[in-house]
Chains A and B, each alone.
Chain A
Amino acid sequence: MKSGAILPDEAVHSKKNMAFAAIHVANFMVQAVLRAEDEVRADGELLEKTVALVDGTAPLIHVVAANEAAWRAGIQLGMAQTQAQLCGVEIRRRSRGLEKAAHAALLDLGWSMSPRVEDHAEDTILADLAGLSSLFGAEENIAREFARRAAELNLRVRVAVSANLEVAVHAARGFAGITVIPEGEEARYLSGLPVQTLAPSAEALETLERWGIRTCAALGALPMLELSERLGQEGVRLQELARGAHARSLVLAEPPEILEEEMELDDAVEDLEPLAFVLGRLLDQVCARLATRALSAAAIRVRFDLGDAFEKEEQVRGKNPVTVATAAAKTYEKVLNLPVPMRDSKMLLKLLRLQLQADPPPGAIVKITLRADPARPRSTQHGLFVPNSPDPEKLELTVARLAKLVGGANIGSPELTDTHRPGEFRMNKFFAQPNETRARGKAGKKFASGGEAVARRPATGCRIFRPRLAARVELREGRPAKIFFRGLYGRVVTASGPWRISGDWWREDAWQQEEWDLEIAFEGGGASVPVNVPVNVPGNMHAIGPVPDAKVCARAGLYCVYYDGACRSWFVRGTYD
């Protein structure tokens, strides 16, 4: 019994909390175009500009939308472009790509606050406010938060909150700013709105106008039965909408996997410098959208639509080759793969510019489409005792700059390949490795005890000559006795070899070499050759051991020399340093 007394209160409470917000972008086509313009972003006042949008194909280009200032300047729908220009307004071309991007941004705005969002129309979305009061407070605060976040996306929105979905939509379309409609007062709020707000069909609207019904209040006061007889089911539905009594459920929209922004350019752009401004704007927008969903970008894909690129094809007509220019529309794509998910638009712009400078588009650009592959942001735990490691974002930029300087193939982290072919390795992209406390490998074992190096002889370093040095070798009794390379003449003091190696005999680039380790004393430095250096006379050879006093040997060196069986020539591979 006790629980029975509580249940109605809970039901009332839950009903009271059920509310929906309609977010509407007034003058959507104009806002979509101006959204990407710096002037609007800087002052935030869309209405300050006097803009009219035109669409169509020449010579039938006409005005399809304009902002309030333009209407006041005398712009009318359907006006020809030349007439509109006489009114002293700024003319912009309608862009469906920008409208699509603005609509996607509007949806992201909804998902940034509520997981339950309906894609109602291109310029309107609905969001379920259930549970948001604990985060943002009262419904007015939630509506203000929507407006604030929309401003960050360069959109000026109208927000209406109501327990009824359709009422919220119509209030958002009908009233500027923020409107919160208390439950039970829907009809009163809608009463002053024109019937056109309910989006009736052209026939129904004409009939209503003929009857003198111009407001929702007037429509709601009509007798339902008679209205049904004259306008059918549409009349009943319109009356329910006008009274705020039409009930339906939210139709949920699914967030897209990929975020995309695009921009068509009025004039084709060839240089990368002016393009950077456009890319910056698009990246700003994409990053703002990623931020609304608490995501970062794992990769940025840029597609450039190139203008009519003239390809020269040589066709042989008779005996004379004739160059024919064929116009072909092209696209050029570039993918910026990121080592860690990023959301810093400035950093992304720098990386993108470096990549484009290294490999610029082959023609003039007329349209840019930028897509971001979303990923969860990187989360790191810093510590006082964590070893040095470059910041992944900064490292990526540094590596990109270095790649531009020395070439992409000349920078990276070397990795040995699974072969015995001398000098084989491959270059991998260098990443800042996460600091691990894993069991260390071969090298780590040496320094396992707090960084103290276990007393052990260090390895002899080897320096490689790239490309290999051709040498002329004089043999005596089957072993090198004299060697000439790089303009130097040297006498072989000690020779060790031949160490025969070969491999990949089944391939065309099979290798077969005879390696020699040579200690060479160069001419002109004979006096500096130490007396205790072994020479290849049996009596003078000595085994390695403690060197009590190493002698200076400035003009002698240890070299790795080999005879290449494939090309029957001698080469110097490198030096032991």
Chain B
Amino acid sequence: MAANFAALRSKVELALAGRVAAPFNYRDRQEVVTVSSGIPEIDSLTGGLPRGALTEIFGPSCSGRTSLLLAALSARTAQEESCALIDGGDAFDPHSAEAAGVELRKLLWVRCRNVEQTLRATDLLLQGGGFGLIAVDLSDIAPRLVRHVPLDSWFRFRRAVEDTPTVLVLLEQESNAKSCASLGLRLEAGAAGWSQMPVEDAAGRIEDYSRLPWGWLLEGRSARGGVSRSRMQKGSAGYFRGGSAAEPRVASAGIFKTRIDWEFFSLPIAAKRK
């Protein structure tokens, strides 16, 4: 029996030679290194974005996915890391990115037209390597199309990014990567924030312009994030090492608020770059 087992084992090893180095050896899980997402509330919720793994951020339109992406890009480019954005719907706005602190010269922007191009571009960038963060934005692509992406594509991405220092982020309306994602983050839209502009008349009295539409200014909005899947939380405390981020909590959803820096948009280009 033992001899048969040994023969079978050697036969399997021979068949997999060149493809799998040691098929019967237990492969230890490597320590997960995370980086800041740029939003403290999300960091405290998730422990940060894991390197060498796929992070899936999904939610409906206006749920704060882009704000989270820009914050993550800002954090990575501030650390002098090169980042790539594969824009499935060609919806990236460089102006709001610059306002969010993204160093555009460190960002490679690939403007795709469909899902196929997006997936192929992701493959190429993952093979090229060297990027600190690669974001695949499928937010503007109809969910029914993204649902048709074969599961082996996500599996391939997961394997390609493994053992690399790259943070792979996937933005969608629905979760599709399933078990291929090491971290799944569901975002939901919160309330918009409006501020009333106090306007003084010539005599220095505060006028009430709240009846008029230009008396109000959009200041930002809030969003709520919840962890739908996290491999990092399952292991022991030693298994997870949060770089600059805090320890993950299985706790409740993290609410974060965003702002619109209108003053920045009105600045001339030279002042923006200072």
The reply to whether A390 and B66 form a contact with Cβ atoms under 8 Å apart is: no
Within 8 A of B (CB), among A123-168: none
Which residue of chain B has its CB nearest to the CB of A574? Answer: B93
A57 interfacial by beta-carbon distance below 8 Å: no
Grouping DSSP codes into helix (H, G, I), strand (E, B) and loop, the B interface class, with mixed when no group exceeds half, is mixed
A451 interfacial by beta-carbon distance below 8 Å: yes
List chain B residues, Cβ under 8 A from A459: 67, 70-71, 96, 99-101, 258-261
A346 interfacial by beta-carbon distance below 8 Å: no
Q: A416-B95, A496-B217 are in contact. Are A443 and B67 (CB under 8 A)?
A: no
- Chain B, residues 192-230, CB within 8 Å of chain A (1/0): the string is 111110000000000000110110111111111000000
Q: A416-B98, A464-B93, A533-B192 are in contact. Are A550 and B255 (CB under 8 A)?
A: yes
* Interface magnitude class on chain A: 35 or more
A495 to B192, CA, bound (A): 12
List chain B residues, Cβ under 8 A from A441: 103, 273-274
Q: A458-B256, A459-B96 are in contact. Are A413 and B108 (CB under 8 A)?
A: yes
A459 to B189, CA, bound (A): 15
> How close is A452's CB to chain B, nearest CB, in angstroms?
5
The reply to whether B213 and A414 form a contact with Cβ atoms under 8 Å apart is: no
The reply to whether B82 and A460 form a contact with Cβ atoms under 8 Å apart is: no
The reply to whether B210 and A541 form a contact with Cβ atoms under 8 Å apart is: yes
B155 interfacial by beta-carbon distance below 8 Å: no
Within 8 A of B (CB), among A393-447: 394-395, 397-399, 401-402, 405-406, 410-419, 423, 425, 427-428, 430, 432-433, 435-436, 440-444, 446-447
A542 interfacial by beta-carbon distance below 8 Å: yes
The reply to whether A398 and B127 form a contact with Cβ atoms under 8 Å apart is: yes
The reply to whether B67 and A496 form a contact with Cβ atoms under 8 Å apart is: no
The reply to whether B78 and A444 form a contact with Cβ atoms under 8 Å apart is: yes
Q: A388-B82, A416-B98 are in contact. Are A451 and B194 (CB under 8 A)?
A: no
List chain B residues, Cβ under 8 A from A345: none
A410 to B87, CA, bound (A): 10
The reply to whether A553 and B213 form a contact with Cβ atoms under 8 Å apart is: no
The reply to whether B125 and A458 form a contact with Cβ atoms under 8 Å apart is: no
A465 to B92, CA, bound (A): 9
> How close is A459's CB to chain B, nearest CB, in angstroms?
4
Partner of A387, one of B43, B81, B93, B100: B81
List chain B residues, Cβ under 8 A from A479: 213
The reply to whether A453 and B75 form a contact with Cβ atoms under 8 Å apart is: yes
List chain B residues, Cβ under 8 A from A444: 78, 103
> How close is A447's CB to chain B, nearest CB, in angstroms?
4
A517 interfacial by beta-carbon distance below 8 Å: yes
A394 to B127, CA, bound (A): 9
> How close is A444's CB to chain B, nearest CB, in angstroms?
5
B163 interfacial by beta-carbon distance below 8 Å: no
List chain B residues, Cβ under 8 A from A415: 94, 104-105
List chain A residues, Cβ under 8 A from B130: 388-391, 394-395, 432
The reply to whether A547 and B194 form a contact with Cβ atoms under 8 Å apart is: no
Contact stretch, chosen from A221-229, A360-368, A554-562: A554-562
A552 interfacial by beta-carbon distance below 8 Å: yes
List chain A residues, Cβ under 8 A from B43: 453
The reply to whether A451 and B125 form a contact with Cβ atoms under 8 Å apart is: no
Q: A465-B91, A576-B260 are in contact. Are A550 and B194 (CB under 8 A)?
A: no
A11 interfacial by beta-carbon distance below 8 Å: no
The reply to whether A443 and B139 form a contact with Cβ atoms under 8 Å apart is: no
Partner of A406, one of B36, B81, B113, B166: B113
> How close is B38's CB to chain A, nearest CB, in angstroms?
6
Partner of B140, one of A394, A463, A557: A463
A519 interfacial by beta-carbon distance below 8 Å: yes
- Chain B, residues 46-72, CB within 8 Å of chain A (1/0): the string is 000000000000001111111111110
The reply to whether B78 and A443 form a contact with Cβ atoms under 8 Å apart is: yes
A10 interfacial by beta-carbon distance below 8 Å: no
The reply to whether B192 and A577 form a contact with Cβ atoms under 8 Å apart is: no
Interface residues, chain A, CB within 8 Å of chain B?
387-391, 394-395, 397-399, 401-402, 405-406, 410-419, 423, 425, 427-428, 430, 432-433, 435-436, 440-444, 446-447, 450-453, 455, 457-466, 478-479, 494-499, 516-517, 519, 530, 532-534, 536, 538, 541-545, 547, 549-554, 556-558, 574-577
A-B contact pairs, 22 of them (CB 8 A): A394-B128, A402-B125, A413-B107, A414-B109, A416-B95, A433-B82, A457-B258, A460-B220, A463-B140, A496-B216, A532-B191, A542-B194, A543-B194, A547-B191, A550-B190, A552-B190, A552-B224, A556-B62, A557-B61, A558-B218, A577-B65, A577-B66
